[in-house]
Amino acid sequence: MRILHYCQHVLGIGHVQRSIQICRACARSHEVVMVMGGPPLTINEPSISLLQLPGLRMDEQFSGLVPCDPKADGDAIKTRRTELLQDLVDTFNPDCLVVELYPFGRKAFRFELDPLLSTCKSKPGSCTIVCSVRDILVEKVQGKEKFEQRAVDTVNRFFDAILIHADQRFVQFEETFGKTAQLRVPRHYTGFITPLPSKATARTIRAQRIRNDDEKLIVAAIGSGSVGGELLDAVVAAWGLLPEPTRCHIQLFTGPYLSDAEFAALCDAQTEYIRVERFTDQYVDWLAAADLCISMAGYNSCMNVLAAGVPALLYPLAQNREQRMRVEKLAAYGTIKMIEENDLKPRVLAESIASMSHAIPTAVDIDLNGAEQTAALIERITLAQSTNR
């Protein structure tokens, strides 16, 4: 079976990381091409063929698309991207097209996605079309009625199924999409998608950073976006106010898109006990090695916390309801506490760190096998559609 997976990232790379895990699981049995359209990324995944479209990203006001290459012409890039997608469908001839998020987001990319969907829907033979969407949608404040109706119309016109990467016991799709009842295609909950930690790697990481059993390892991170630097600054400021700071080792991960100036300032604050890196591909292993995680509350960050079974202080993005809603639900599933802007005051944060770093993790009954179950659903749905057509 040939699977074409489209993913467009505009802020961080959380959507890409989730898509890679799905593609990796699919590639164990099928031929997979993954299309990316944001700022170029280096991805080492031999089992997946990658197509990097000429890059587009959102402008600083988040009001429109601009080329990743400032010298490029935006209209020419849109034309070229559309052509490349059409050519790929002609040459690859997919049995299944998986579209990440759209039409429940990414409406700025309708210029290429609607033609892609139309081509796949009408091509000779059969091409199953599936929407891949995370647990909680970013809800619209203005134009919600129009946005949701357009999403309903697009799904009902083009798609064969919606795959919701969540545990239905945790959150249901209709909580953040009001017109769910009007969707005429089946919805499947896949379980959450996250890598699982390696116990051996976690032990090695801890042994390299911790000298004595009574010392603590704290991992602080802001995911893969460009926001949240104030959280890392607060962690550094709070360290010196801990009851015994020299018994607490802190590892900061800033993500690839934190500004160079903010990254340099954090590096200047490094000590024997505080270390800074931009990124690690062993993040979930670091969490499994840690006594406490302090992080933003995006999908991937939260699922990594659950997979590692580590106590966590989670700081939701203030601009929308998504991350706050996730943390509020997670608080019932593990040793997790939400922190807000006022909690970033050094003394207040130090008290929270001191308390939570001694917390005993609790077992979490939540489905984290989403990648494998997504791959199985894609195969099952595609085979059923091809039989019925």
Write the CA distances from 308 to 286, 300, 302, integer angstroms: 9, 12, 10
Distance between CA atoms of 164 and 356, rounded to whole angstroms? 32
Asked if residue 292 and residue 220 are part of one domain, the reply reads: yes
Asked if residue 151 and residue 248 are part of one domain, the reply reads: no
Asked if residue 234 and residue 208 are part of one domain, the reply reads: yes
- Is 361 a domain residue? no
pTM, entire model: 0.93
Radius of gyration of the chain (CA): 22
Give SS3 for 66: strand
Share of residues in the chain with pLDDT > 70 (%): 98
Per the structure, how many domains does the chain have?
Answer: 2
Write the CA distances from 372 to 20, 305, 365, 378, integer angstroms: 12, 19, 18, 10
Give the mean pLDDT of the chain: 92
Domain that holds residue 180: 2-193+369-388
Contact indicator for 243, 267 with CB cutoff of 8 Å: no
Asked if residue 14 and residue 161 are part of one domain, the reply reads: yes
Asked if residue 135 and residue 258 are part of one domain, the reply reads: no
**Tens digit of each residue's pLDDT (9 = 90 or more) over 169-178:** 999 999 999 9
Closest alpha carbon to 185 in 226, 255, 129: 129
Contact indicator for 137, 166 with CB cutoff of 8 Å: no
pLDDT for the residue 389: 64
Give SS3 for 367: coil
**Tens digit of each residue's pLDDT (9 = 90 or more) over 353-375:** 999 998 988 778 899 999 999 99
Angle at 133 between CA 169 and CA 338, to 5 degrees: 55
Share of residues in the chain with pLDDT > 90 (%): 76
Asked if residue 206 and residue 189 are part of one domain, the reply reads: no
Distance between CA atoms of 102 and 80, rounded to whole angstroms? 20
Placement of tokens 């062993």 in the chain: 282
Asked if residue 203 and residue 159 are part of one domain, the reply reads: no
- Is 272 a domain residue? yes
Low-confidence ranges of the chain (pLDDT < 50): none
- Is 362 a domain residue? no
CATH number, domain containing residue 46: 3.40.50.2000
